[in-house]
Amino acid sequence: MDLEGISNISLDINTLLLAYRSGQSVTAIVELIYERIATHEHNPIWITLLPKQQVLQAAAQLEAMRQDMPSLPLFGIPFALKDNIDANGVLTTAACPAFGYMPTEDAMVVEKLLAAGALLIGKTNLDQFATGLVGTRSPYGVCQNPFDDRYISGGSSSGSAVAVSAGLVSFALGTDTAGSGRVPAAFNNIVGLKPSRGLISNRGVVPACRSLDCVSIFALSCNDAELVLAACQGFDHQDIYCRDRPLPANQQALPKSSSQSLSRFRFGVPTQDWLEFFGDREYQQLFTTSISHLEAIGGQQVEIDYQPFYDAAQLLYSGPWVAERLAALASFFEHSADQTLEITSQIILGANKYTAVDVFESIYKLKSHQRSAAAEWQKMDLLLVPTTPTIYQISQVNEEPLQLNTNLGYYTNFVNLLDLCAIAIPSGFRTDHLPFGITLIAPAFNENLLISLGTKYQQQLNLPLGNTSITYHQVSQ
């Protein structure tokens, strides 16, 4: 099949949908994707790549339903799954071969995406059991950053983010407990949407911290993330942590779609004594510039006390919430702990030092931090932070795996504990061409606000989409 005419096509969702409406075949896009995947064989992005013939068959079935395109919002849109999310008949490993099992049904989120016409390409690499923000903790290999293979791609949803950035899929699902849906987005120059807890069903997702886990969305643009969220959100009575989106009767009136946004809004920024970049002056300067960019689209900067957010973040890995990771995997670790990576066992089995008293004391502390954070939210509509303070080389993380991982969570670990939603957005490059990103954060169920302002932000900067030469303005948004 001659693919020359589409060889450089962007895989952003709107571009593909326009192509399909103009008669482009889904099978040709699949052929193109597998050609692109072949050029990245050196990078262990995939744990399970579906056989091309199987995906071509699914594409042919979609072709037969072309007349139903108006009712299939993700018709022919290729996507990937982090390999802790079930797909019927595709092995789930959570990056631990000894843990692997064969699902007999799709996770609820996958079921919804397939029903919307999306096309599954494969399952991606991750930090084992979604434990880490670095992307180096997998027996399947270390996912390399597509901008510079000496650097980490971020974790735990490393493969999903790289697949989107490299133009191998239009979007990918990750999970986010401590920042795993945002850190890889920043390091790969893509969007990472972490919805409110319970907005997307976690049924069919291997738990990390079940009370905090979120399925997250990696995409090339905020618009694309919005389309995916619309297709896969929804209440699931079989997921005890799933929540109905509340009516906004007692909330500030917020935009209903990304075509609208607040003309004026207040964004909080931590005071200078709380801003941390671990010596990365370029990230520091890029963050200062991002404040100006946000002001240019109607924002008013407000300094806030970051103390309650920081204190809440410390509870996640320096407190008994790590015990929830062991609770999810207790049976496996009882018999097969020696089948995991040493760093994984060290973190998860560290839960044994905590008591029930520790848990309750930390719950009380968290309630106190939530009360203090609520006072700061009275000053702002959203919070602006760097997605990460810096980026590290793979060799650096191998030498100092725990502390550098902790550093990367400085601006992410509190979000789920404080019941917030967040979107990570590309925001420029260092002089060595490594990406920098910001995160916009808001109280739960304010995804529309974040997507709307994120779209304006992307429009203003007009950066490349992922690790491609195609810029935001060059595609239809």
Q: Is 85 helix (H, G, I), strand (E, B) or coil?
A: strand
- The verdict on whether 156 is a catalytic residue reads yes
Q: Determine the average pLDDT of the residues in 444-471.
A: 97
| Alpha-carbon gap, residue 412 to 400, rounded angstroms | 20
Q: What is the mean pLDDT of the chain?
A: 94
- The verdict on whether 180 is a catalytic residue reads yes
- Record the pTM: 0.96
| Alpha-carbon gap, residue 188 to 425, rounded angstroms | 10
What is the 3 state secondary structure string of 12-79? CHHHHHHHHHCCCCHHHHHHHHHHHHHCCCCCCCEEEECCHHHHHHHHHHHHCCHHHHHHCCCCCCEE
Indicate which residue of 10, 156, 157, 427 is catalytic. 156
**Residue type, position 453, single letter:** L
β strands within 178-257, DSSP E: 191-194, 214-219
Instruction: Using pLDDT thresholds of 50, 70 and 90, give the confidence band for residue 318.
Output: confident
Indicate which residue of 25, 82, 158, 261 is catalytic. 82
How many CB atoms are closer than 10 A to CB 192?
33
Q: pLDDT per residue over 48-82, tens digit each?
A: 999 999 999 999 999 999 999 999 999 999 999 99
Indicate which residue of 153, 158, 180, 362 is catalytic. 180
- The verdict on whether 71 is a catalytic residue reads no
Q: Are 267 and 301 in contact (CB under 8 A)?
A: yes
> Closest by alpha carbon to 236, among 213, 195, 204?
204
Q: Determine the average pLDDT of the residues in 421-425.
A: 98
Joined together, the tokens standing for residue 448 give 């529309």
